[in-house]
Amino acid sequence: MKRILILGGGVGGTLTANLLARKLRQRVKAGEVTITVVDQTGKHVYQPGFMYIAMGGERADKLQRPERGLLDSRVNLVVGEVKTVDPATRTVSLVDGLQLSYDHLVLATGSRIVPEAIEHFDTEAEHFYTAEAALELRKALDAFTGGRIVIGIAGMPYKCPPAPLEVAFLIEAELRQRGLRDKTELHFCSPIGRAFTIESVSEMATPILEAKGIELHTFFNVEAIDADRHVVQSLEGEELPYELLILVPPHKGQQFLMDSGLAPAPGGWLPTDRATLQVGGRPDIFALGDATDLPLSKAGSTAHFEAPVVTERIVAAVEGRTVDRKHGDYLGKVMCFFEIGDGKGTLLQFDYDHPPRPPKPNQLWHLGKIVFNKTYWHTVPKGRV
């Protein structure tokens, strides 16, 4: 009996479980293999939709479904909070006392936001990294009648690197439509020396920022908030006043990974091999998605393209054969849509060796993103795309 244990029921965990169930169905049926997903809430949340709660009339209840309904019937689901992982005894302990043993462990535990890491974040800054926060941002935008809006990034790495730029573009378009544009100054703070990390994307985005009259501040890594003066301060020693402050909150890996000695503090990101996705050189532990320390986008798309790699490696081990490197090595593939505003978008597609060459923004890519969001439940988690 081989026990495959997957921690996390997000994109990476759910897709890996379903791909394994498909590839190993005969062995599962024969009782030779078990596949178990442990998820803290039992609810699968489509996080890319949060931005659209703030910017596109999306509803929170449309963005979550029961995890059980997305999992192959051959996969077991345990709803519970993980306390520790012991790689020596190959045991995972849950807060409720349940202990689960494994032969192969997949850590698809995602990232978590820690706005409390910045003093006054909760009272001064808006964000869109939870459904509740996105709704609060929507309310703040509805109440906004003019002034200075500052959009920035309060920690790295963070989920969905294009998101703050997308929000800047979408807010600018909205303010124009509401007749508030000439009463508003828009400031976008980039942590690096250009508008976006990827040079080709930056070359596309910079003229759009200029055309929309959004002032770009480079090398501005948000460090602190002065609540009394309503000023945001950077790691590099600059400050900007605001009437409405929108910040990407700091992110971390899961605390139990640090407590278990698998991920170093303070970030909590798992040391992961860029090709094999093995954690810390251990042949029986894999990581994917936001949980890794790989220098890639923390995005569902990354997990989506990593899941087949983890699947091939575990299936090869179960079947006692060598890994098919064509399917069992991750080449860094990521693909995501990028909203420009005014009903237009573009596409970013790249891997470790090929930077993206985004097509000229048009309505088609915007519609592509909308269709992808709406059909997600039937495609990605089930391994249909």
Partner 1 sequence: MTDTITAPAQTRTVDARGSYCPGPLMELIRAIRESAPGQVIAVYSSDSGSRTDIPKWVEKAGHRLIEVTPRDGYDEIVVEKTH
Instruction: Mark the segment that binds partner 1 (CB under 8 A) among 51-59, 64-72, 153-161, 180-188.
Output: 153-161
Using CB under 8 A, pick the residue from 102, 144, 350, 376 that binds partner 1: 350
Nearest to 13 by CA among 60, 63, 79: 79
Question: Is there binding between residue 296 and partner 1 (CB under 8 A)?
Answer: yes
Question: Is there binding between residue 193 and partner 1 (CB under 8 A)?
Answer: yes
Question: Is there binding between residue 156 and partner 1 (CB under 8 A)?
Answer: yes
C-alpha torsion sign, points 324, 303, 252, 187: positive
Neighbours of 31 (CB within 10 A): 8
Instruction: Mark the segment that binds partner 1 (CB under 8 A) among 9-17, 126-134, 193-201, 225-233.
Output: 193-201
Residue 45 and residue 373 in contact, taking contact as beta carbons nearer than 8 Å: no
Please list the residues that pair with 214 across neighbouring strands. 186
244-248/222-226 β-pairing: unpaired
Question: Is there binding between residue 219 and partner 1 (CB under 8 A)?
Answer: yes
Q: d(Cα 73, Cα 67) in Å, to the nearest integer? A: 11
Nearest to 19 by CA among 306, 246, 227, 242: 306
Output the smallest distance, CB 119 to partner 1, in A: 16
Q: d(Cα 164, Cα 190) in Å, to the nearest integer? A: 9
32 contacts: CB under 8 Å, gap ≥ 6: 1, 2
Using CB under 8 A, pick the residue from 297, 311, 346, 373 that binds partner 1: 297
- The DSSP line for 162-208 is THHHHHHHHHHHHHHHTT-GGGEEEEEE-SSSSSSSSHHHHHHHHHH
Question: Is there binding between residue 157 and partner 1 (CB under 8 A)?
Answer: yes
Using CB under 8 A, pick the residue from 31, 97, 295, 320 that binds partner 1: 295
Tokens at residue 89, please?
């005894």
Map the footprint of partner 1 across residues 92-121, applying CB under 8 A.
none
Q: Which is nearer to partner 1, 94 or 208 (CB)?
A: 208
Map the footprint of partner 1 across residues 13-52, applying CB under 8 A.
none
Using CB under 8 A, pick the residue from 352, 359, 362, 377 that binds partner 1: 352
Instruction: Mark the segment that binds partner 1 (CB under 8 A) among 21-29, 128-136, 231-239, 283-291.
Output: 231-239
Instruction: Mark the segment that binds partner 1 (CB under 8 A) among 33-41, 55-63, 70-78, 192-200.
Output: 192-200
Question: Is there binding between residue 349 and partner 1 (CB under 8 A)?
Answer: no
Tokens at residue 244, please?
């409405």
Output the smallest distance, CB 351 to partner 1, in A: 8
Question: Is there binding between residue 319 and partner 1 (CB under 8 A)?
Answer: no
Counting residues that bind partner 1 (by CB under 8 A) gives: 31
> Tell me, what DSSP letter sits at residue 51?
H
Residue 6 and residue 13 in contact, taking contact as beta carbons nearer than 8 Å: yes
Output the smallest distance, CB 248 to partner 1, in A: 11
Q: d(Cα 330, Cα 183) in Å, to the nearest integer? A: 48
262 contacts: CB under 8 Å, gap ≥ 6: 85, 87, 107, 270, 279, 280, 285
Q: Which is nearer to partner 1, 286 or 350 (CB)?
A: 350
Question: Is there binding between residue 71 and partner 1 (CB under 8 A)?
Answer: no
Question: Is there binding between residue 86 and partner 1 (CB under 8 A)?
Answer: no
Instruction: Mark the segment that binds partner 1 (CB under 8 A) among 53-61, 75-83, 125-133, 234-242.
Output: 234-242
Q: Which is nearer to partner 1, 237 or 320 (CB)?
A: 237
Neighbours of 286 (CB within 10 A): 29
Using CB under 8 A, pick the residue from 1, 353, 360, 384 that binds partner 1: 353
Question: Is there binding between residue 199 and partner 1 (CB under 8 A)?
Answer: yes
End-to-end CA distance of the chain: 31
Q: d(Cα 93, Cα 198) in Å, to the nearest integer? A: 41
Q: Which residues bind partner 1 (CB under 8 A)?
A: 155-157, 161, 191-194, 197-199, 219, 221, 235-237, 266-267, 274, 295-297, 332, 334, 348, 350-353, 355-356
